[in-house]
Amino acid sequence: MPQPEHSGVLHLRGGGTSVVLATGTADLPVVVWWGEDLGASSRSTLSDLVTAAIPQRVSGGLDVPVPMSIVPGQAAGWFGTPGLSGHRSGRTFSPRLVTREVRPERLAADDDGAARVVVHAADDESGLTLDAELEVTAAGLFRQRLTLTNLGPEPYTVDALAPVFPLPVGADELLGTTGRHLRERSPQRHDFTVGTHLRESRRGRPGHDASLLLAAGRPGFGFERGVAHAVHVAWSGNHRLLAERTPAGDSYLAAGELLLPGEIVLPEGAAYATPWAVGSWGDGLDALAHRFHDDLRARPHHPRRARPVTLNTWEAVYFDHSLPKLLDLAERAAGVGVERFVLDDGWFRGRRDDTTALGDWFVDPAVWPGGLDPLVSAVRGLGMEFGLWVEPEMISLDSDLAREHPDWILRARGDLPLPGRQQHALDLAHPEAYKYVLTRLDALLSEHDIAYLKWDHNRDLLEAGGAGTGQARVHETVLALYRLLAELKDRHPGLEIESCASGGGRVDLGILELTDRVWTSDTLDPVERLTNQRYTGLLLPPELQGMHLTTPAVHSTGRTVALDLSAGVALPGHFGIEWDLTTLDQAGLREVAGWVALHRRHRELSHTGVVVNADTGPQADVRGVVAADGTAAVFTYTQVSTSVTYPPGRFTLPGLHPDRHYTVRVVAGAVDDGPGQSPLAWTRRPVTLTGRELGSVGLQAPVLHPERLVVLELTTG
């Protein structure tokens, strides 16, 4: 909780994190420290900490040097990227916001050490006020949100507003993610030099190439060790992440919404609130990720019940919706242990391919003469939940909706934007369009026993303006989406929703306030998924990531994969199946059922435990989940490619309790499948070692063919 203010200093603590806030050294507060908990520092120590951070006047510089505040600007002597950019028709471009009040507040989680402060600042000459919320959560996340209010009679245009997160000494390397459809969240690193490294998304959603977060750390930082700090913006539309190092020695990260021209114009009395910018840190990326995971799991609305094993019909039938085929598939699914059956694209009126009918959210009587009830009833009778695919934010030109309401299509001018995925985007911020979508989805959910919506969003937005106005509309459509999701959940308690956007194009903490998992990627290639899921895991725990096994001939890449690799890579997540099970014989079904059973056996551990990743070379992958009390763990060892050494040498298992004794068993996968090799001793007879020994000395790696995997079960007692 906040410690008493002394000489303009506040110390926010929680979850092993300290934030020291100086409130008397500049117009706005200054974050003097964000990172490792400094302990119950004395008042004099905190005051001296602030004094030790005040810059001095230097040759060629300003006569009055001022430290970087929470919203830096030129009025305070800041030459870097401003925290606030805006104007009144070109005037009032450099406000001087000065602190009027600092209010330490208590959080509901205060008993766990969380802390919060609200800073109220104003500039009477500019007619602006600012409220800055800064909090350290019980999990140790550092969250910031800014609200700017216009008190002047003339409208104020906001071009940019984002809080900053100062970095400690030694943060000299940057890590972000990039990618494309079917390969989201691929890591990229480079030196953190003087200047600005800027990552922007202008796609109307985070996008496949978005950086999930932007991290800065000590050179060479990995998953197991190396101090790193990172920021994420909890927003499902356009956004900006930047890292900046100034010639004056300031280094910081910033995260905020990217505003299109004229998107936020505040009339007198109106306010704009930024999305939450969320910072985490840790000694190693795993420790950094654990703060996000712990914070998400502490939410009152976080999924608590066991995540249902899901079969999705897309790669099994595509648009071929034949009731006998789907009934056969449902019976096979129930037989292997599936708990949720999801009917994908192709069920609604006129939808025979991906070029038509988006927006016409009525069950197609030509394909479903008896409606969806026969399938829904059969699925429920087999003991499974029923789910349905929808894409409510999109519209096909060849649809009744587009013919009746062309004015509901987002556009910046009379012409339509270039098409993407043979479709356009609906102006969800249009009141009548919003009402229509809400009415149709509410009707579907009321008329059928639907427990789950796979909510897709299959194209990036271009020229996303309101029809008839030409004004930028991304901000308003995101807020409308949030309202729609909240309204549907309010009307249908227990409804679960997946955020899918051509796979992993909309993965952020904003959408996850209203949804229950993300579809991590449209690629089900387990080799591609290894990287994708590892870096998605920097933000999300396994239970929020859709991870499915797939057909041996992977549809997205053409790779042929073994079931042990496909299922083993999916094992820790919200597990599911993308496969036409009607093509399998009884032996094949038993093998799939075995993997479903293995997942269900370890589901609680995987979805409540601590995720760990070993720092290995590119030829192997070692990852696992350790029970929160350290009593058990499940790891996978994957031979990604051939090794230079043969046999490949040892590997270690991080994250175990150092003094506990763990018995290690191979419980699934392809042990000893290499040619002409002798049995590996510890795979034939379980070994018992301490967590310290397994994390330091390790185990001899099995010789596996490339793209094969083994599952290790660790138990104590």
Which of the residues are catalytic?
A: 456, 522
SS3 content of the chain, % helix, strand, coil (to 5): 20, 30, 45
Give residue 337's identity as a one-letter amino acid code.
Answer: G
**Degrees, nearest 5: CA angle 158-164-165:** 160
In degrees and rounded to multiples of 5, residue 136 shows phi and psi of -110, 120
Nearest CA among 465, 462, 394 for reference residue 433: 394
DSSP E strands in 246-301: the ranges are: 251-257, 264-266, 271-273, 277-283
- Torsions phi, psi of 227, nearest 5? -65, 130
Please count the helices (runs of H) and the strands (runs of E) in the chain: 13, 38
- What residues does 623 pair with on adjacent strands? 613, 636
Q: Give the Cα separation of 652 and 644 in Å (integer).
A: 18
Give the Å distances, CA to CA, from 479 to 291, 402, 429: 27, 23, 8
Question: How distant, in Å, are the alpha carbons of 176, 187, 504, 527, 541 from that of 209?
Answer: 10, 11, 10, 19, 21
CA atoms in the 13 A half-sphere facing the CB of 609? 24
Residue 59's contacts (CB-CB under 8 Å, 6 or more residues apart) are none
- Token look-up 């079969």 returns 311
Q: Quick one: tokens of 711?
A: 């599952």
Q: First CA to last CA across the chain, in angstroms?
A: 39
What residues contact 558, with CB distance under 8 A and at least 6 apart? none
Residue 187 Cα distances to 183, 213, 661, angstroms: 11, 10, 35
Give the tokens for residue 600: 């269900």
Question: Distance between CA atoms of 708 and 699, rounded to whole angstroms?
Answer: 18
Say how many C-beta atoms besides its own lie within 10 A of residue 493's C-beta.
Answer: 6
* DSSP 8-state class, residue 496: E
Asked if 395 and 416 count as a contact pair (C-beta separation under 8 A), the reply is: no
Transcribe 11-31 into DSSP letters. Answer: EEEETTEEEEEESSSSSS-EE
Pairing verdict, β 227-233 and 214-217: antiparallel
Which residue from 116, 361, 124, 79 is spatially nearest to 248, judged by alpha carbons?
79
Report which of 707, 701, 703 is spatially closest to residue 564, judged by C-alpha positions.
707
The residues pairing with 242 across neighbouring beta strands, listed in sequence order, are 198, 254
Opening angle at CA 455, ends 368 and 544, nearest 5: 130
Determine which helix (DSSP H) or strand (DSSP E) holds 263, and give its type and residue range. Answer: none
CA dist 140 to 29, 33, 169, 597, Å?
20, 14, 20, 35
147 conformational bin, left if phi > 0, alpha if psi -120 to 50, beta if neither: beta
SS3 at position 527: helix
DSSP string computed for 49-71: HHHHH-----TTS-SS-----SS
Distance CA 668, CA 671 (A): 8
Q: Of 532, 535, 425, nearest to 481 (Cα)?
A: 425
Strand ranges inside 40-182, DSSP E? 84-87, 98-105, 115-123, 128-136, 142-150, 156-161, 164-166, 173-180
